[in-house]
Amino acid sequence: MPTITLKAATKHYGKPDAPAINALDLFIEDGEFMCLLGPSGCGKTTTLRLIAGLENLSGGSLHLDSKPVDVPDHGHFVSPDKRKLGLVFQSYALWPHLSVRRNVEFGLRLQKKPKAEIQHATEAVMQTLGILDYAERYPSELSGGQQQRVALARMLVVNPGILLMDEPLSNLDARLRLQMRTELQRIHQQYQSTLVFVTHDQWEAMALATRIAVMHEGIIQQVGTPTDIYERPANRFVAEFIGSPPINMVELDHADADFKQALFQLLGEKVVQQTAAIGIRPEHIQVTNSTKAGTLGAIVLSEIPTGGQSICELACGNHNLLMTTSRASGLVPGTTVRIAIAVDALNCFDRQGQRISIASELQNSGSTLSQSGTNWQSASLPAHNTPYHSTQSTTL
């Protein structure tokens, strides 16, 4: 079974004090669709190239199917051609002088498979990817999306257990990207391969992955399902990297008295004392008619309609907060409103920027939050573009 295990994996390109990836631990299960997600330069491509064997580790270990393939301390290194992998990079690198058919069957010819088998396998995979009609064309006669499908077909035809893809959709226009995403999911289900997919695009990762590894400066920040990553970010980097419009991050040192007072009431002194910053997703703020203690006054600064949803900027005491609503809110800039916040969806971070678990505190507080927990499951992901509706919008 193709599993991938990186332990304390470190890679530097000549400068040990500036590693491209640093003590990285990652276990990728058989059949998983794992996305490596992070800003440019965080070490995604390096990780993928290490798995492929195009780079070798400076320290730590890499196992494929529990077999050591790169363990520098023990002198193990298995060359890329012996690792049974398929690779697709951002540039498709098709042979320009070969037809689509010839490009796709290339790997099987190298393996010296029988002619009939080559023809059968090639046509089957071209059929699956909808490129059979272009079989006799040359790459220069194809659109970007068609070329990308040929690159995928060329990889799939040799039926590798592990597929590695480095930003394979980034050269496609928005519509094609969507189409190829759906296709990739279908291919993943059909071929049941272990897939490692590199992207800097959070929507792509959210839409495709079974799990996401968020990376920053060569270090894995969090590994989890898209829901985990979005709803329970392990630290401030993940909270702020994921989500668009971005999470509202309120530094408690700069919070005004009203805001702090409300937090004390709600979260209790113990949590607030540990907390350095509070993260509030824009969809967890609602305008309310209630004037109950705990709601906050805010002034509407602007509203930006973005098709399905609308983004409002609010001034709330010292803070500017973004709020998303499922449709145009009709709020007029300059007017004063009251807002409520879904407290059970708050993210509290300590001085080191690490998440503080507040679920048990909320339960213990016996306050308005007694049924919290259910709300975590009901939150929906931005990938589906449906705004979050807390099952109990509790006022702050």
Ligand X SMILES: Nc1ncnc2c1ncn2[C@@H]1O[C@H](COP(=O)(O)OP(=O)(O)O)[C@@H](O)[C@H]1O
Residues within window 33-52 making contact with Mg ion, judged by CB under 5 A: 45
45 binds ligand X (CB under 6 A): yes
Quick one: which of 33, 37, 43, 118 contacts ligand X (CB under 6 A)?
43
101 binds ligand X (CB under 6 A): no
Among Mg ion, ligand X, none, what binds residue 42 when CB lies within 5 to 8 Å by partner kind?
Answer: ligand X
44 binds ligand X (CB under 6 A): yes
CB of 387 to ligand X, least distance (A): 31
199 binds ligand X (CB under 6 A): no
Residues within window 11-40 making contact with ligand X, judged by CB under 6 A: 13, 20, 38, 40
Contact between residue 136 and residue 100 where contact means Cβ atoms under 8 Å apart: yes
In our burial notation (b when 16+ CB lie closer than 10 A, e otherwise), range 33-66 reads: bbbbbbeeebbbbbbbbbbbbebebbbbbbbbbe
DSSP string, 143-158: -HHHHHHHHHHHHHTT
| Strand-pair partners of 235 | 354
220 binds ligand X (CB under 6 A): no
Q: Which is nearer to ligand X, 168 or 387 (CB)?
A: 168
CB of 18 to ligand X, least distance (A): 8
Contact between residue 271 and residue 348 where contact means Cβ atoms under 8 Å apart: yes
- C-alpha closest to that of 311 among 256, 244, 378, 375: 244
Q: Which is nearer to Mg ion, 40 or 66 (CB)?
A: 40
Among ligand X, Mg ion, none, what binds residue 140 when CB lies within 5 to 8 Å by partner kind?
Answer: none
Instruction: Give strand ranges (E) for 307-346.
Output: 309-316, 319-325, 336-341
Number of residues that bind ligand X (CB under 6 A): 10
Q: Which is nearer to ligand X, 38 or 279 (CB)?
A: 38
Q: Which is nearer to ligand X, 55 or 313 (CB)?
A: 55
Quick one: which of 4, 28, 37, 42 contacts ligand X (CB under 6 A)?
42
Please state, in angstroms and rounded to a whole number, the distance separating the CA atoms of residues 77 and 336.
65
Please state, in angstroms and rounded to a whole number, the distance separating the CA atoms of residues 20 and 13.
7
41 binds ligand X (CB under 6 A): yes
46 binds ligand X (CB under 6 A): yes
Among Mg ion, ligand X, none, what binds residue 329 when CB lies within 5 to 8 Å by partner kind?
Answer: none
DSSP string, 244-256: SSPPEEEEGGG--
- C-alpha closest to that of 238 among 8, 27, 38, 28: 38
Question: Which residues sit at the interface with ligand X, rule CB under 6 A?
Answer: 13, 20, 38, 40-46
